[in-house]
Amino acid sequence: MRHLLSIADLSKPEAISILDTAVELARVSDGAVKKLPTLRGRTIVNLFAEDSTRTRISFEAAAKRLSADVINFSAKGSSLSKGESLKDTALTLQAMGADAVIIRHSSSGAPQRLADSSWMQGSVINAGDGTHEHPSQALLDAFTIRKHLGKGSSDLQGIKVAIVGDVLHSRVARSNVLLLNLLGAKVTLVAPPTLLPVGVESWPVAVSYNFDEVVASVDVVMMLRVQQERMSDLFFPNAREYSRYFGLNSERLALMKPSSIVMHPGPMNRGLEISADVADSARSVIVEQVANGVSVRMAILYVLLAGQPLEVGGN
């Protein structure tokens, strides 16, 4: 494996080996000395042409814990904001000897374009491209689900997951549908018809417009952010209506199975898709998702750049 562009590029054993490697690396993150020498002397560039908090700092922490040199490059303050092309940016990264580029871009397909080009030789990792995919988020979500509900099994066979909200604009939903399906989970999308993509019938999911009908039967409720910045039209009447039908509040939380968990990739619109008390409740694993993100991104860098998964059970 040279690049991580889409979950569709992963086989089930490859996905599981990233998750298993992350379990081993999480032990390092939990220890007193958080660093491994694995990527010493390697250069990793964080190229963020779109806003990000969690994903950017998480990849940075992951690369540093593997002792790589990290160059942070964001659109604001770089020549990208002067309209420099992806090609010229890539040529610059190549000249600096980047071994890997972690790219977030508002255009779906930008990471693929970089990987297919001869502009640079390093690995390309998609950190979110337009409304297309966000594979590292799906892997950290699967890691989190497996930790809570995996019952010792290596995949997610039979686990029921509801993905709720703005599926239309969500790269997190697209990557999660692919990965959860690959790992044997059953996915139901819950959204108003206006926030479901054209062609959703061909996705390997069930679809519901009624959150109350789904909430009691699933093991995981994964809420999505309402992506107002990508909305040029009116997709729902108003925020109150949206929360009433598609928000996760304490009344709906009370309907959930006692063992079920609440997830959200962040950033949250508290009071819109999720109420503040639910976000902060004992059932919410939202902060843990962020912590798990570092271990999973270490595993991605490890597998791509060190070339092999860590021995499970090794030290």
Decide whether 145 or 310 has the Cβ nearer to ligand NCD.
145
Question: Residue 304's CB: how many other CB atoms inside 10 A?
Answer: 19
Cβ-based nearer residue to ligand NCD, 146 or 171: 171
Question: Is-contact 246 165, C-beta < 8 A?
Answer: yes
Per rule CB under 6 A, count of chain residues that contact ligand NCD: 11
Q: Which of 260, 265, 292, 303 binds ligand NCD (CB under 6 A)?
A: 265
Is 130 near ligand NCD (CB under 6 A)? no
Contact map string, positions 88 to 127, toward ligand NCD, x by CB under 6 A: ----------------------------------------
Q: Examine residue 134 and tell whether it contacts ligand NCD (CB under 6 A).
A: yes
SS3 breakdown of the chain: % helix, strand, coil, rounded to 5?
Answer: 45, 15, 40
Residues 157-186 that bind ligand NCD (CB under 6 A): 171-172
- Could you tell me which residues come within 8 angstroms of residue 59 by beta carbon, excluding any fewer than 6 positions away? 44, 46, 102, 125, 127, 136, 297
Q: Contact with ligand NCD (CB under 6 A): which of 6, 137, 284, 292?
A: 137
The whole-angstrom separation of Cα 192 and Cα 167 is 9
Q: Among residues 212 and 229, whose Cβ is nearest to ligand NCD?
A: 229
Asked if residue 274 binds ligand NCD (CB under 6 A), the reply is: no
Contact 246, 190 (CB under 8 A): yes
Residue-wise burial string across 269-290, b where 16 or more C-beta atoms lie within 10 A, e elsewhere: beebbbbeebbeeeebbbebbb
Q: What is the CA radius of gyration of the chain?
A: 19
297 binds ligand NCD (CB under 6 A): no
| Binding residues for ligand NCD (CB under 6 A) | 54-55, 128, 134, 137, 171-172, 225, 227, 265-266
